[in-house]
Amino acid sequence: MTHYRSKPVVIEAMQFVRGAVFPAWLTDARLAGKVKVHMEIPGGDYMLIDTLEGQMRANENDWIIKGLEDEIYPCKPSVFAAKYEEYDEELETRRAMIEGVHE
């Protein structure tokens, strides 16, 4: 059997919490009707997101991810923490430049 692992990719994401500022890509999806935000008191806030697999619900504290092909989908916090780490583009660019100098 052949084994595979994921290639490192950089994604955009935001955690869905009350008062968070939505990035432009999520605001655009809302305006296009692909994301519907429901602010519920009591009961918690949630989003309904039209994904490639159908409509999915994102609850408060879930992460909202913009994928490689601009698809948007929710991710539970525990899965997000296990799969992703913060990426600093400026730091990675400097690191690549330093490694290139030492080759």
Tens digits of residue pLDDT in 9-33: 889 999 999 889 999 999 999 999 9
Q: What's the confidence (pLDDT) of residue 43?
A: 66
Tell me the pTM.
Answer: 0.80
- Residue 13's DSSP bridge partners are 65
Contact present, 74 and 65 (Cβ < 8 Å): yes
Residue 103 predicted with pLDDT over 70? no
List Cβ neighbours of 26 (8 Å cut-off, separation of 6 or more). 14, 35, 64, 66, 72
Q: What's the confidence (pLDDT) of residue 93?
A: 78
Contact present, 74 and 57 (Cβ < 8 Å): yes
Q: What tens digit of pLDDT does each residue of 51-93 get?
A: 989 999 999 999 999 999 999 999 999 999 999 988 887 887 7
